Amino acid sequence: MKLDTPDSIKVNNIFIIGNEKTQKDIILRELDFTTDFYYDWDTFLQIIQSDRQKIYNLRLFTTVEITPLLTGTDEVEVLIAVKERWYVVPSIIFALADRNFSEWWTNQQRDFSRVNYGARISHANVGGRNEKLKFAGQLGFTKALDVLYSKPYIDKKQKHGLAAQVTFFDQKTIPIRSANNRQVFYSNETEDVLRKNLAAALRYTFRRTFYNFHLVNVGFNKTWIDPDVLIENPDYFQHDNTELSYFWLTYSFRHDKRDNIAYATQGELLQISATKYGLFNLEDIDEIELNLTANKYFKLNEKFHIASGLTTNWFLSPRQPYTLVRGIGYSPNFIRGYELNVIEGQQLYVHKNSFRWKFLDFEFDISQTIPLEEFSIIPFQFYLSANFDHGYVKDRNYLPENLALTNRYLYGYGLGIDMVGLYDSVFRFEYSFNNSGGANFFFNLRAPF
């Protein structure tokens, strides 16, 4: 017998299937409904759609489906069906050391010595509780070791989390300044290690509501440089010493309501942060940095959406150690059409915009070829994007070698094709123009914002 759609319903039970490794309470934490409570039917459908997005954004599952099953005139059972990802992933590191592919292809003339290689192993769901454990060892242009462990919830109410990370790297070739709005790299004749860096950080997270996060990071950073670096750039640090050591503290507020954090088509992201560099010994550094990111995604229909993102960054002091230099061209702050440039300064404003059309959406079932459920379906989505970015970098020092692009309004525009694939991987192919008369083809491996 077919049941009419009720005006309101009560949830009797919640069933979860497919979570072979993931603990049930990690999924239940994302639900905005509970049992033995009445909901307006239309409101309930909106709630389960939002909850599906929240569960998917845990990045533990390839697919998430929430189905209400009517069992009476005003009662439902809710079935949550998930398909888990592959959590233990050993992988090969083979990545460019430069800021982006275009920097390596054009400015560095496709120099394969500027490639990093090594091995990485990560566990994305330790104990089935969404804990992350990552270890990476890297050789090549930059030799590095990186260890990260994060536990999103350390309490029964699942509101408090902790993470710790230790990183070490050294380099024989380093950027020491910019000239003509491009990075200048230096290596000495004896090919000595010019820079070593040790960093350690501890992060505390408080998730008060579903979409709002408070984060406090405290860390220590120590950088050693070869004396030749100070000969090439006496202002590399803010003193004549070859070592720079400091503690730092960051507070961040993050509101994240995107439908897909890897490539959003609907929702919003707001992040505000303040960082104090130098907590005890202020002779090495005494600096404050402020950041704001505000992105909005408008879904017009299943085919079209608009993405718009504003980023601002301020340093309060007129000059920073070169290891803290920011600007357009350094991830994630860029203007399309200026990917080959770095525009450095103490204040930046970037506003990025894209109008996107999804013209292909399909998937391949390869379960007969690869009998692994985590890789049995390979999805593909293709978007045609029309882009317009603009921004401004304020350099209080008015460095003459970079005045062509600092302290002036910049904009870029063009067309691109974005491909979203397995495990939310993103590939972008764009041809962009800028208001300095430049035009080029650019390739990137992540969403612009």
Residue 44 inside a domain? The answer is yes
* pTM recorded for the entire structure: 0.86
pLDDT for 166 equals 98
For residue 309, give every residue at least 6 positions away whose Cβ sits within 8 Å of its Cβ, in sequence order, or none.
Answer: 269, 293, 294, 295, 296, 351, 352, 353, 448, 449
Residues 72 and 114 occupy one common structural domain: no
Of 282, 315, 340, the residue that ends a domain is 340
Residues 63 and 116 occupy one common structural domain: no
pLDDT for 1 equals 44
Q: What is the DSSP string of 28-69?
A: HTT-S--SS-EEEHHHHHHHHHHHHHHHHTTS-EEEEEEEEE
Of 312, 340, 368, the residue that ends a domain is 340
The SS3 assignment for 19 reads coil
Residue 66 inside a domain? The answer is yes
Instruction: Provide the token pair at 50.
Output: 């939002």
Residues 133 and 42 occupy one common structural domain: no
CATH number at residue 45: 3.10.20.310
Residues 236 and 291 occupy one common structural domain: yes
Residues 163 and 272 occupy one common structural domain: yes
Residues 116 and 78 occupy one common structural domain: no
Of 310, 340, 370, the residue that ends a domain is 340
Residues 162 and 269 occupy one common structural domain: yes
Residues 138 and 280 occupy one common structural domain: yes
Give the pLDDT means over successive 10-residue stretches in the chain (449 positions): 73 94 95 92 94 94 93 91 88 80 82 85 91 92 94 94 97 92 90 93 95 97 95 89 95 96 95 96 88 97 97 93 92 91 96 97 80 75 98 94 96 97 89 93 87
Residue 146 inside a domain? The answer is yes
Residue 136 inside a domain? The answer is yes
Residues 107 and 212 occupy one common structural domain: yes
Residue 431 inside a domain? The answer is no
**Dist. CA 283–CA 86, nearest whole Å:** 48
pLDDT for 3 equals 53
Residue 137 inside a domain? The answer is yes
What's the structural domain count of the chain?
A: 2
418: amino acid identity, one letter: D
pLDDT for 107 equals 82
Residues 164 and 61 occupy one common structural domain: no
Residues 233 and 256 occupy one common structural domain: yes
Strands 131-140, 75-84: parallel, antiparallel or unpaired by DSSP? Answer: unpaired
pLDDT for 374 equals 66
Residues 166 and 39 occupy one common structural domain: no
Residue 356 inside a domain? The answer is no
CATH number at residue 223: 2.40.160.50
Q: What share of the chain is helix, strand, coil (3-state, %, to 5)?
A: 10, 55, 35
Residue 131 inside a domain? The answer is yes
Domain coverage including residue 72: 8-84
Strand partners, 350: 311, 391
